[in-house]
Amino acid sequence: MREKDCIFCKIIEGEIPSHTIYEDERFKVILDASPASKGHALILPKEHYADIYDIDEDTAACAMKLAKKLAAHMTEVLGCDGFNIVQNNHEIAGQTVFHFHMHLIPRYKEAKNADILQWSHETFSQEEMKAICESLKC
């Protein structure tokens, strides 16, 4: 089901042009328009899901299977030295397009922006770590 005013739904329907590298009944994979590196691509489910909370388990699992295949294919073709798979949810986490997508980001030893995805670290006491761990057990 498409969402009105969703840019990725419009790309999926062909209303907005994209560089499509893969397509099947469930997914379209396009090059990111503002790439972090050469070959940066986005896996888009054809159904509209806002984020990881909204998407069903089966589609999420299939998206990860596709990421696995494309990581191997893109690494072979591009000759990259590593690979990030990134998936942002909600504005605070960097999501800017609210149609679920997975970033496939090839990494190169010689790239100028080697700081993609670096973050500073927080420190928690052992007590805090225990409490966090207890609260998250499932």
Please identify, using beta-carbon distances, which residue of 75 and 95 lies nearer to ligand AMP: 95
Contact 9, 98 (CB under 8 A): no
Interaction of residue 101 with Zn ion, rule CB under 5 A = no
Write out the binding residues for ligand AMP, residues 47-86 only, by CB under 6 A: none
Instruction: State yes or no: residue 97 binds Zn ion (CB under 5 A).
Output: no
Answer whether 25's CB lies under 8 Å from 17's CB.
Answer: no
Catalytic residue among 40, 48, 101, 103: 101
Backbone angle region of 106, left / alpha / beta, with phi > 0 → left and psi within -120 to 50 → alpha: beta
* Residue 97 within binding range of ligand AMP, rule CB under 6 A: yes
By C-beta, is 9 or 104 nearer to Zn ion?
9
Considering only CA atoms, which of 35, 33, 59, 66 is closest in space to residue 45?
A: 59
9 binds Zn ion (CB under 5 A): yes
Q: Does 55 bind Zn ion (CB under 5 A)?
A: no
Do 70 and 76 touch, CB atoms closer than 8 A?
A: no
Query: Is the Cβ of residue 80 or residue 105 nearer to ligand AMP in the bound state?
Result: 105
Strand pairing report for 41-45 and 82-86: unpaired
> What is the binding site for Zn ion (CB under 5 A)?
3, 6, 8-9, 48, 99
